[in-house]
Amino acid sequence: MTTGLHPGGQPQDPRPTGNQALPRQERVDHGALHADNRTRSAVITARAAASFDPVGRSVATARSFVRDTLQGWGFADIVDDAVVLTSELVTNAVVHAGTSADVLCLRSDEGVRIEVADRYPEREIPLQATAVNMGSPDREGGRGLQLCAALAGRWGVDYSPTHKQVWFHLDLPDRPVGTRTAGPSLPADLLPLADGRVRVAVIQIDRVGAISAWNEDAEDLFGYAAEQVIGKPLTDLAAWPHTPGTSTGIVEALQLSRWEGTYGLRGASGRVTPVYASHLRVRDTGGEPSTVCLLVRDHERAVLQTPLRASATDTTTSSEGQATDPFEVFIGSPAPDDLDGLLQRTVERARDMLDGDSAFLLLATDDETELEVRASTGLPSARQRFARVPVEAGPGRYGSARMPAVHEDLTVVPGAVPLLAGTGMRSVVTVPLKVEGRLTGSLGVAAEGPSRYSNEEALRLQFAADRIALAVESARLGELERLRRGSLSFLVEASDLLAGTLDRDQTLALMAQMTVPTLATWCAVYTIADQASDPYLSYVLHEDEERIDGLKALLSKIAPPDPVPTPGARVWAAPGEAAHQAALRTSMRSLGLGEPASITSGIGTTLATAAAVGGETVVLPLVARNRVIGMLTLGKPSDEHFRQEILELAEDLSRRAALALDNARLYSERTAISQSLQRSLLPPDLPHIDGVEVEVIYRAAGEGNEVGGDFYDLFPIRDGVYGFAIGDVCGTGPEAAAVTGLARHALRLLAREGFGGPAVLERLNSAILDEGARSRFLTLLYGELWPQEDGSAMLKVVCAGHPLPLRLRQDGTVEAAAEPQPLLGVMEDLELYEQTITLDPGDVLLCVTDGVTERREGTRMLGDDGLTDVLTTCTGLTAGAVAARIMRAVERFASDAPSDDMAILAMRVPGLPRD
């Protein structure tokens, strides 16, 4: 539903076609008894229009619209008839005809005219003068025209080429001419009590608040002669009931053009006399202002007190005489449950109550330094929503939102109400919302014409604001509590997600996905590698995936925001300005007004990008370990602002995200260093050995480990002689890898120096023991390989505490190829010996570490026997196939990932090739 309230004047048709409004056709059959066949001569003082979609719930919405409009105009006497007729006519349009309905309410000095138009002109409406039967009044539908005939003073039907309109006019009940307020006749015992002679003190106060006139009744009431008080400030005598600073004080009351209320005056006897006062601000012929105060004793207030109007929003008694809630009188019943609904209903009622063109409501921040726009009507709400203005916008009471203010013409004081800049509003009245003396918000009504409001309207609006302030504050606190609970849940989930990854790219993606669309419409993350580097655009995300590329291209062309470490969000205007300029240039090129573009089809993308980033854009620093490592940029589409609660939540998220991003960076750096060092411990590519096939499979346990406690090596010692080794250092991780590097390099060095197998291992044992507390014991199988001319190969091996090598013969038999000897790194004096074996053509020598044989599944272990069984099935396979089958069998033996390092070295003698 769309609604609008317009100032007085000749109304225009609310149903536009294209860019022009269709002229209304007053074509009515002359035979219609109640058809209005004369032009509308009454002066239209206000109009309200609304459109309703063709859905069932629109009928109830239309009833509420008409009820709210007429109650706002003070026409409570005819509300019920108007609602019934509107309900029937809108039902005909949206339910039976299946089209949208336009409802127009027109107020004049004669009454109210309501028009209901639909877009189904083909069906004729029977007129009362024809013989057409309008149906039984007891049937369920089709009673709208009968009701018009029964309830409306005049009604009729208008047609246009595209619309059919049914209208009715309701006259206002007769009231005595010239009467503003009147009360019923009362018995004498119910009349207000007064003394035999009612004294009305007349006091005049000059510009500075000093008493300039004091009549005889004032002398009788308070005991002071005129010469005793003239020239003294009234504040010396007045006992004002309000705490200074929490409501209107006497100084402020004397500045208002009209004021009524109760306070006290200290008499000559020192006693305070409660009085009821009526103040009127006047000026003399010289332009000098003063205030005339009429005062009576408080129990005689009926002499001065203005009776409440029957249609005023502060009525506290229903038509049945039952007491009603003043809040519900203003807001309506039922009151909206949510804060936004309550605020929107408030501004609409305030606008209607003062016949304004727009209204707005702002809520104060917790520290009462700023006001945030939360609801408006008749204003570009998307541009204004959540915008902030200071409470104290300037000096004096008119610059503070803590006091009521009336601006007769904003063009005289431009900028007095920043919210209304550029809206065409000229006069405005604003009043504060206060709860227990604390400013909680501000309510304002504005009009397009000047001098529309005076202090009388300010009093009426303040009266309404006082009745809704507590309900608004209660709803605001409830929303704030829900928002804070949601924020806590959001931050807990975000922390869990960010803590669940140490991958930098995934962390960037999570940062953006958590902010869009929960906190913002789009997000961009800039990262800074080091203090000497410029910010780099690392990730861009928009809730509409089709706009990501355009947004990324736009941000890539502008300078990144400055990496300021100051906490909190700061506004960044560069994206919006760049998008606007790009869209303008593209539009001009498309019209042939600028430089020709090579690609002109991008205008849609450019305009969409401009709309996407045209709103408020904020930047939050990503600070971790006292260093700015990036910026988190959040944006809204055109004419939108961020709520302060959202910015505070984004700031909390940015702190967590910054730490997660820095942890991911450190982890990536250390992982890269670790992998580089580990790769340096692995042997280079295996050498090619004529007459011998060699295959190695190596698996290091642990995530990110390339080298563990197991190791292998195969290297040339001299021509025709090769050394090989496979070993297992106690433990895993960096400490075991350090001993691995020591062992592998020591073996190569000692073997090439000409030492035999036992001597090499004995010296390596001494080197390990020299490491002291960092030493690890080591099991090692070391050997030397001599390929023979007859196709066989001779091996000399030393098995120092290592699983024995297995020999697979061509006939499928498997046997141990060495004997066990003491391991290294435990005893200083070792006596080792080497054993010689010969591999015949087709034989395979398999060497493994204990990670293979000790593979477990529950209580089962692969063991030496299991390995032997697998090896017996490898007859005739190449060395690579043997190693692969062994590894596959080990992996399938258990479902869990291996917990120990594994190394497999397979050597096969294929024999001499046949001629």
pLDDT of 130 over the 60 cut: no
Q: Please, which pLDDT band fits residue 867 given cuts at 50, 70 and 90?
A: very high
Per-residue pLDDT, 1: 45
Least confident of 133-137, 160-164, 353-357, 752-756: 133-137
Spatial CB neighbours of 407, under 8 Å, sequence gap ≥ 6: 398, 413, 416, 417, 427, 428, 429
Whether the predicted pLDDT of 544 surpasses 80: yes
Closest CA to 840 of 868, 797, 810: 810
Q: Which two tokens stand for residue 353?
A: 């109550």
- The pLDDT of 846-854, averaged and rounded, is 91
CA distance 823 to 711: 15
Over range 529-540, report the average pLDDT. Answer: 84
Per-residue confidence (pLDDT) for residue 319, from 0 to 100: 44
Residue with tokens 């025709």: 720
Residue 471 backbone zone (phi > 0: left; psi -120 to 50: alpha; other: beta): alpha
Residue with tokens 């004091």: 214
**Rounded CA gap, 213 and 852, in Å?**
113
Q: Note the pLDDT tens digit of each residue in 233-268.
A: 998 888 876 544 445 678 878 887 777 888 889 998
Q: What's the mean pLDDT in 383-396?
A: 66
pLDDT of residue 178: 52
pLDDT in tens, 685-700: 888 998 899 999 988 7
pLDDT of 317 over the 70 cut: no
3-class DSSP assignment, residue 562: coil
Given a cut of 50, whether residue 557 has pLDDT beyond it is yes
| Across 138-161, average pLDDT | 68
Residue 533 exposed, middle or buried by CB count within 10 Å (0-12, 13-18, 19+): exposed
Tell me which residue of 316, 343, 335 sits closest to 440, measured CA to CA: 343
Asked whether residue 422 carries a pLDDT value surpassing 70, the answer given is yes
Angle between helices 339-353 and 57-73 (to 10 degrees): 40
Within 13 Å of residue 629, how many CA atoms lie on the same side as its CB? 20
Q: Which two tokens stand for residue 709?
A: 């406690």
The region of weakest confidence among 25-29, 391-395, 742-746, 884-888 is: 25-29
Cα separation, 195 vs 730, in Å, equals 111
Quote the distance between the C-alpha of residue 482 and its chain's center: 14
Rounded to two decimals, the pTM is 0.46
pLDDT bucket at 28, cuts 50 / 70 / 90: very low
Looking at the DSSP assignment, which residues form a beta bridge with residue 710?
Answer: 728
pLDDT beyond 80 at 383: no
What per-residue string of b and e applies to 628-666 under the rule 16 or more CB within 10 Å gives b? bbbbbbbbbbbbbbbeebbbebbbbbbbbbbbbbbbbbe
CA contacts within 13 A on the Cβ side of 75: 27
Mean pLDDT computed over 302-314: 58
What is the mean pLDDT of the segment spanning 314-328?
A: 48
Rounded CA-CA distance 239/264 in Å is 5
pLDDT in the model for residue 144: 55
Amino acid at 711: F
Which amino acid, one-letter code, is at 852? V
Tell me the residue ranges of DSSP E strands in 287-410: 289-297, 358-364, 370-377, 388-390, 405-407
Name residue 169's beta-bridge partners.
113, 154
Given a cut of 60, whether residue 396 has pLDDT beyond it is: no
Burial zone of 881 (CB within 10 Å; 0-12 exposed, 13-18 middle, 19+ buried): middle
Asked whether 888 and 904 are in contact (CB, 8 A), the reply is: no
**Whole-angstrom distance, CA of residue 321 vs CA of residue 787:** 119
Per-residue three-class SS string for 868-885: HHHHHCCCCCCHHHHHHH
More confident residue, 277 or 594: 277
Which position has the higher pLDDT, 855 or 24? 855
Q: How far is CA 428 from CA 101, 257, 382, 436, 762, in A?
A: 33, 16, 21, 26, 100
Distance in angstroms (rounded) separating the CA atoms of residues 542 and 538: 14
Strand order in the sheet with 710-718: 710-718, 721-729, 778-787, 793-800, 835-839
Q: Residue 54 and residue 97: Cα distance in Å, rounded?
A: 9
Given a cut of 70, whether residue 300 has pLDDT beyond it is yes
Q: Is the pLDDT of residue 539 over 60?
A: yes
For residues 708-737, give the mean pLDDT.
Answer: 84
User: Which DSSP category does 614 fall into?
Assistant: S
pLDDT one-digit tens code per residue, 808-818: 999 999 999 99
User: Do 848 and 905 meet the contact criterion of CB atoms below 8 Å apart?
Assistant: yes
pLDDT range class, residue 589, cuts 50, 70, 90: low
- Return the axis-axis angle of helices 603-613 and 548-556, rounded to nearest 10°: 80
Highest mean pLDDT among 64-68, 348-352, 821-825: 821-825
The reported pLDDT for the residue numbered 2 is 41
Among the residue ranges 322-336, 534-548, 688-702, the one predicted with the least confidence is 322-336
| Cα separation values, 568 from 8, 40, 391, 494, 564, Å | 48, 60, 21, 19, 10
Tell me the one-letter amino acid at 676: S
Task: Give the N- to C-terminal CA distance of the chain in Å, as an integer.
Answer: 96
CA neighbor of 763 nearest in space, from 683, 824, 712, 822: 824
pLDDT band at residue 516 under the 50/70/90 scheme: confident
Give the span between the Cα atoms of 514 and 667, in whole angstroms. Answer: 22
Count other Cβ atoms within 10 Å, centred on residue 841: 15
Count of C-beta atoms within a 10 Å radius of residue 124: 11
- Confidence check: pLDDT of 87 > 90: no
pLDDT of residue 380: 65
Q: Which pair of structure tokens corresponds to residue 248?
A: 């209107």
- Tell me what percent of the residues of the chain surpass a pLDDT of 90: 20
Neighbours of 752 (CB within 10 A): 13
- From 226-230, 402-406, 728-732, 757-761, the region with the lowest mean pLDDT: 728-732
User: Tokens for 663?
Assistant: 């942890």
**Does the pLDDT value for residue 873 go beyond 50?**
yes
Structure-token match 């998008």, residue found: 579
Q: What is the Cα–Cα distance from 463 to 38, expressed in whole angstroms?
A: 42
The residue among 206 and 370 whose pLDDT is bigger is 206
Q: Is 493 helix (H, G, I), strand (E, B) or coil?
A: helix
Q: CA geometry: angle at 19 spanning 16 and 22, to 5°?
A: 40
Interatomic CA distance for residues 165 and 159, integer angstroms: 6
What would the two tokens of residue 824 be?
């290294």
Q: Answer whether 643's CB lies under 8 Å from 386's CB.
A: yes
Cβ contact 337:345 at 8 Å: no
**Count of CB atoms situated within 10 Å of the CB of 700:** 25
- CB count within 10 Å of CB 905 equals 25
DSSP 763-824: HHHHHHHTTGGG---EEEEEEEEEE-TTS-EEEEEEEESSPPPEEE-TTS-EEE-S--BPPB
CA distances from 887 to 566, 705, 816 (A): 57, 19, 19
Nearest to 528 by CA among 566, 497, 506, 560: 560
Contacts of 204 (CB under 8 A, 6+ apart): 211, 212, 213, 290, 291, 292, 293
Q: Token pair for residue 821?
A: 């000897």
* Angstrom distance (rounded) from CA 610 to CA 615: 9
Residue 525 exposed, middle or buried by CB count within 10 Å (0-12, 13-18, 19+): buried
- pLDDT confidence of 20, banded at 50, 70, 90? very low
Residue 193: strand, helix, or coil: coil
**Rounded distance, CA 760 to CA 768, Å?**
12
**751, containing H or E segment:** helix 734-752
What's the per-residue H, E or C state across 391-433? Answer: CECCCCHHHECCCCEEECCCCCCCCCCHHHCCCCCCEEEEEEE
- What is the Cα Rg of the chain in Å? 46
> Is the pLDDT reported for residue 135 higher than 50?
no
Question: How much is the pLDDT for 475?
Answer: 84
